Structure 1
Amino acid sequence: MDPDSPWEENPDMNHVPEAEWTRIASEFTNAGYREGIIAGKEEFLQAGFDAGFADVGVPLGRELGHLRGVAAAIRAQI
């Protein structure tokens, strides 16, 4: 056994208490969960925006522009 090896069990060394280990594991779990939520929101938010823009925003904007152009032409003739 190599006494300098970090893999050897040494009963004289202070180990991280169970409560501390649980807290650290919980923090890493929570951080991973938050990162996953953020990544999921970003991915689906963009996809939802793209679909809404293409299916609703552009057609409505085009129609509104057309109607404004017609109204402007009629107004110019008065």
Structure 2
Amino acid sequence: MGWFNKLTERVDLMGEMFAQTDALRNFDSFGPTMEGQLRNAMYACAGCQDTEKCKEWLAEGRRHAHPPRFCPNAGRIREFRSLS
């Protein structure tokens, strides 16, 4: 898989992970640091070694879920969810 295909796959996985965990439910209140936070999340996802585990977890179609422990963005997702 070429680097561009890998990157787009990971961005799609990250988007679905954020959707299933409601990570961006309070997006409008995140403020000016959000761009950097999302960039860091993308880098963490791009470097993740658990892609297949992630795909399997996402395939279950959870809603309002807690992020899985293996996700490198689990802490960031919990932080995003706590913002109001």
Q: Structure 1 length as normaliser, TM-score? A: 0.30
Task: Find the structure with the greater CA-based Rg.
Answer: 1
Q: Which has the higher helix share?
A: 1
Q: Structure 2 length as normaliser, TM-score? A: 0.28
